[in-house]
Chains A and B, each alone.
Chain A
Amino acid sequence: MLKATWFVLAGMAIVFATLSVLVLVMSALNRWLRPGPEVRPGAGGRPGARHA
């Protein structure tokens, strides 16, 4: 049963390791690819438009 115990530990370690790397990579990607702040309607792009 000792080898069964090691099998369980190794299996769970692979599952946690794989998903940890996946979540790290995806979090980094999401931070990198995050959409920029939305332009508020009416703000326009012209200087001074906000105070017009």
Chain B
Amino acid sequence: MPEGELLGVLALTWQATVMLGIGGLLIYLGIARQVEPVLLVPIGMGIILANIPLGGLTDADGFLAVLKRAGIDTELFPLLIFIGVGAMIDFGSLLERPYTVFLGAAAQFGIFGAFFLAYFLGDGGLRLFDFSFEDAVSIGIIGSADGPTSIYVATVLRSRYAPAIVVAAYSYMALVPIIQPPIMRALTTDAERRLAMPARTQKVSPRTRLLFPVVTILVTGLIAPKATPLIGTLMFGNLLRESGVLERLSQAAQNELANIVTILLGLTVGGMMLARDFLQPETIMIYVMGVVAFAVGTAAGVLFGKLMYVASGKRINPLIGAAGISAFPMSARVVQKVGLEANPHNHLIMHAAGANTAGQIASVVAGGAVLALVPFFA
């Protein structure tokens, strides 16, 4: 038997074996447990392909290295994904309930809360972990609950922890139904949770829906220009949807484009998780920070919801604030479920969907804001 055929086995380290196990675990979670299978299966396969010794997929001209250069280093993949996401989202529930935009804004405190903690544990305070200011910002962005924004910000800031941050961001989105309800229950009273909200909403004209993507690009681009690539692609996708004359392109963005880029993105992100970079204490801490980010974002949204509950004369159920994190549409469903537990006649889903879509825009704005601010503070 030629010696070369056995070299892979001989070169297998315990670190690579652990990574192969993690890849297998993600594939298992995706297929057997249905945890974000669309992403976890390609990511898991990418990890396995990248960590097979001497496989060469992450060498300079290897398949995964080429994908990384083409789609991640250039920030192309997250932007292409956003075209698909924009075509999928109906912002009608937000336009019908404009006040929900502030719940989306408040929930972005999860980003900044996690950043603050990561920076305190890293270079800004205790120095327990090797987290620079840029790394802490990239870790905080997990709180956007928005995979493409996490990839975009971590890549632009050149964080060495980008792969762990991306995997954490996508993993925790699947865990929203577990993370959010205890926080929502702890911060609200039974009377608040029982509050039924009226179905009556503001009427929105078709022309307003059509203008919304263009106006959003203009407003966001002029105030937070660094968010333009993200908001621009998101709203371009939404314009395809709302135009009424581009159904074919809208469907292509929602299906073919989003699916192809998701496959490539998942494989590439998995391919970035090499044993030597991934198995560090910092990676474990990034996962802890991810929970903190989601929890703080949820708490901030609910607390702002309580403020609106009081300010509105007890007409707004504070639970809908939890949907301000942009894990779309999972967190809106969680709000509906917790609301129904308190009051079987309480249907909060459309109100929560407003906050949820607001959170999508707010997380992109927050991503642009941190990118604009980092040069002044780092």
Are A and B physically bound partners? Answer: yes
Query: Within residues 1 to 51 of chain A, which ones have a CB less than 8 A from any CB in chain B?
Result: 1, 3-8, 10-12, 14-23, 25-27, 29-30, 33-35
Q: When A1-B120, A10-B373, A15-B362 are in contact, do A29 and B202 touch as well, CB less than 8 Å?
A: no
Give Cα A17 to B113, complex, Å: 19
Q: When A22-B219, A29-B208, A30-B205 are in contact, do A11 and B105 touch as well, CB less than 8 Å?
A: no
Query: Within residues 291 to 334 of chain B, which ones have a CB less than 8 A from any CB in chain A?
Result: none
Q: Determine whether the beta carbon of A4 is less than 8 Å from that of B120.
A: yes
Q: Determine whether the beta carbon of B102 is less than 8 Å from that of A19.
A: yes
**Which of B24-32, B72-80, B209-217, B244-252 is the interface stretch?**
B209-217
Q: Determine whether the beta carbon of B104 is less than 8 Å from that of A26.
A: no
Task: Report the minimum CB–CB distance from A9 to chain B (whole Å).
Answer: 9
Number of B interface residues in the complex (CB < 8 A): 44
**Which of B56-64, B190-198, B267-275, B363-371 is the interface stretch?**
B363-371
Contacts of B145 in A (CB 8 A): none
Partner of B215, one of A5, A25, A34: A25
Q: When A1-B120, A21-B219 are in contact, do A15 and B98 touch as well, CB less than 8 Å?
A: no
Q: Determine whether the beta carbon of B109 is less than 8 Å from that of A12.
A: yes
Partner of A25, one of B102, B219, B361, B370: B219
Give Cα A26 to B95, complex, Å: 8
The size bracket of the interface on A is 20 to 34
Partner of B208, one of A3, A8, A12, A30: A30
Task: Report the minimum CB–CB distance from A19 to chain B (whole Å).
Answer: 5
Binding site secondary structure of chain B: helix
B172 on interface, CB distance cutoff 8 Å: no
Task: Report the minimum CB–CB distance from A10 to chain B (whole Å).
Answer: 6
Contacts of B220 in A (CB 8 A): 18, 22
Q: Determine whether the beta carbon of B366 is less than 8 Å from that of A15.
A: yes
B124 on interface, CB distance cutoff 8 Å: yes
- Which of A5, A7, A12 has its CB near the most chain B CB atoms (within 10 A)? A7
Contacts of A30 in B (CB 8 A): 95, 202, 204-205, 208
Partner of A19, one of B116, B203, B362: B362
Q: Determine whether the beta carbon of A33 is less than 8 Å from that of B205.
A: yes
Contact with A along B90-116 (1 / 0, CB 8 A): 000001001101101100110111011
Q: Determine whether the beta carbon of B361 is less than 8 Å from that of A19.
A: yes
B288 on interface, CB distance cutoff 8 Å: no
Closest A residue to B215 by beta carbon equals A25
Contacts of A23 in B (CB 8 A): 98-99, 101-102
Task: Report the minimum CB–CB distance from A27 to chain B (whole Å).
Answer: 6
Q: Determine whether the beta carbon of A1 is less than 8 Å from that of B369.
A: no
Q: Determine whether the beta carbon of A33 is less than 8 Å from that of B108.
A: no
Task: Report the minimum CB–CB distance from B244 to chain A (whole Å).
Answer: 15
Give Cα A12 to B205, complex, Å: 31
Partner of A11, one of B223, B361, B370: B370
Closest B residue to A14 by beta carbon equals B369
Give Cα A23 to B365, complex, Å: 14
Listed from nearest, the 10 A-B pairs whose CB atoms lie closest are: A14-B369, A8-B112, A30-B208, A33-B207, A18-B223, A7-B377, A33-B205, A23-B101, A22-B219, A19-B105
Q: List 24 A-B contacts (CB under 8 A).
A: A1-B116, A1-B120, A1-B124, A4-B119, A4-B124, A7-B112, A7-B373, A7-B377, A8-B112, A10-B373, A11-B111, A11-B369, A12-B108, A14-B223, A14-B369, A15-B362, A15-B366, A16-B102, A17-B223, A18-B220, A19-B102, A19-B361, A22-B219, A25-B215
Q: A4-B124, A18-B219 are in contact. List 5 more A-B contacts (CB 8 A).
A: A11-B111, A15-B369, A26-B95, A26-B98, A29-B211
